[in-house]
Amino acid sequence: MKRVAVYPGTFDPVTNGHLDLCERGRRHFDRVILSVLRHDQKQPMFTIPERVELLREATSQWDNVAVDSFDGLLVDYARDAGATIILRGIRAVTDLEYEMQMAMMNRRLADTLETVFLVPSEAYSYVSSRLVREVASLGGSVDGLVPEVVAAALAEKFKDRKPS
C-alpha cells in the first residue's frame, strides 16, 4: 500500500522551512501532497493560484511531491486524496500547542488519519511566512529564507516601495 501524506498549510508564501520539511517527508512517504487552504480568515498576500504556482515551481524537482488546494475539513480532503498521514512541522516548542490542538481535533474527526510531526533544519527554526512577508514588505532581504521564485515574486509585489 502506498503511503500518501498531505502537508496542509497557508503557504503565504512557501518558505525554505516548508521545503525542508517537504523534502524530509518525501523520503519517508511514497507521495506528499502540499495543499493550500483556500478559504482562510487571514488576509493573504498571495492569491491561491499564486501560492499554488509558487509551490509548484519550488517543488518541481521532486517527482513524488504534488501541489493542490482544498476547502472544508482537512480530514475530508485527506480521505478523498487517499492520504493516511497529515504532515506538519514543529519548529520550536511554541508551535506545539497549536499543532497538538489541530492533531487532536483531526483525530477526533477521523481516527484513521495519523498526524506526523517532522522537525525542520535548525537553520529555518525561526522562519515563518508571516516574518518573511513583513521583512520583504519593509524592504529587507529574505534571500536564503525562501526559494528564488518566491524572492522574485516578493520583489515584484514591493517593487514600487522604497526601503525604509
Catalogue the active-site residues: 18, 42, 91, 129
For residue 162, the minimal CB distance to ligand PNS (Å) is 30
Give the burial class of 6: count Cβ atoms within 10 A of its Cβ; 0-12 exposed, 13-18 middle, 19 or more buried. buried
Q: How long, in residues, is the chain?
A: 164
Q: Which residues bind ligand PNS (CB under 6 A)?
A: 8-10, 37, 73-74, 102, 105-106
Q: Which is nearer to ligand PNS, 22 or 37 (CB)?
A: 37
Phi, psi at 140, each rounded to 5°: -85, 165
Q: Which is nearer to ligand PNS, 8 or 17 (CB)?
A: 8
For residues 153 and 20, what is the distance between their CA atoms, to the nearest angstrom?
A: 20
Q: What angle do CA 40, 41, 46 make, to 5 degrees?
A: 60
Residue nearest ligand PNS (C-beta atom): 9
Expressed in angstroms, the distance from the first to the final Cα of the chain is 54
Q: Which is nearer to ligand PNS, 27 or 39 (CB)?
A: 39
Q: Which is nearer to ligand PNS, 37 or 45 (CB)?
A: 37
The amino acid that residue 63 corresponds to is D
For residue 142, the minimal CB distance to ligand PNS (Å) is 18
The amino acid that residue 14 corresponds to is V
